[in-house]
Amino acid sequence: MTEKIDAIIVAAGSGTRLGFSMPKAFVPLHGKPILLWSLKQFLSFALVDKVILVVPEDLIDKTRKQFDDNRITVIRGGDYRWVSVYNGVCQSKAQWILVHDAARPFVNHTIIDDLVKKRSEFDCVITVTPEVDTIKEFKADRAGTTIDRSKVVRVGTPQLFRRSVLLDGFKAVPKMDNVPTDEAMLMERTGIEVGIAWGDPLNFKITTPSDFRIAEALLEKDKSMCMGPD
């Protein structure tokens, strides 16, 4: 029997840095909410059983009406990212969980497929892309040592986890001095080996107005990208 995979899309962040009053995932990108672009990709991926959307509490009812599909579960987010993901994991009975940022609209089947292929080797696999810029340490306004960029990567989403291992990791969070910035860091802190799968630099996270303008321009230029969401 094929092991089930559920996807969690974290869509509880604010849109403040984008200059919008609404949560970032609901900001219209090329006429459609940002989260819809990645949602469509996961729903159309053959191995994904269902998608769990984690949204702000005051948008639960609206989101459920907007995405009326029995493969989509809409739940409340938390004050921290790990709480939002934990809430999503608790709604799943799948053996594997994909966690994705709603603000990365350009995920595609190739990226997802490269992740899930590695589940026979690792309990956690992250999407990475090469670092192409010169990277330096710094202190105040002084540049420090240059870091060998061939030894570092940029970490993105989606990320893949064996559900049982991820749940065990969440139990350790309250005892940590600093909350992990993502679930892969949580796995690392609890001694779980983290595998990598090479992603696509175009699967960037929309954080600033400049990122948003770039995303709009990409969709305007490449009409094939617009074939995703209905």
CATH number (domain holding residue 20): 3.90.550.10
Is the pLDDT at 217 greater than 80? The verdict is yes
Distance CA 81, CA 97 (A): 15
What is the span of the domain harbouring residue 99?
A: 5-227
Whole-Å CA distances, 51 to 42, 48, 138, 142: 7, 8, 41, 46
Q: How would you classify the pairing of strands 96-101 and 5-10?
A: parallel
Task: Extract the tokens encoding 192.
Answer: 């779980």
Q: What is the Cα gyration radius of the chain?
A: 18
Counted domains in the chain: 1
Residues 125-163: tens digit of each pLDDT:
999 999 999 999 999 999 999 999 999 999 999 999 999
Distance CA 186, CA 202 (A): 26
Q: Are 160 and 150 in contact (CB under 8 A)?
A: no
Distance of CA 125 to the CA centre of its chain: 13
Please name the residues in contact with 63: beta carbons below 8 A apart, sequence gap of 6 or more: 53, 55, 74
pLDDT, mean of residues 58-63:
93
Is the pLDDT at 205 greater than 50? The verdict is yes
Task: Pick 116 or 80 by higher pLDDT.
Answer: 116
Q: Are 143 and 136 in contact (CB under 8 A)?
A: yes
Q: Which of 80-84, 120-124, 202-206, 222-226 is predicted least confidently?
A: 222-226
pLDDT, mean of residues 183-189:
95
Q: What is the pLDDT of residue 230?
A: 46
User: CA 79, 154, 110, 157: dihedral to nearest 10 degrees?
Assistant: 0
Residues 94-131: tens digit of each pLDDT:
999 999 999 999 999 999 999 999 999 999 999 999 99
Average of per-residue pLDDT values in the chain: 92
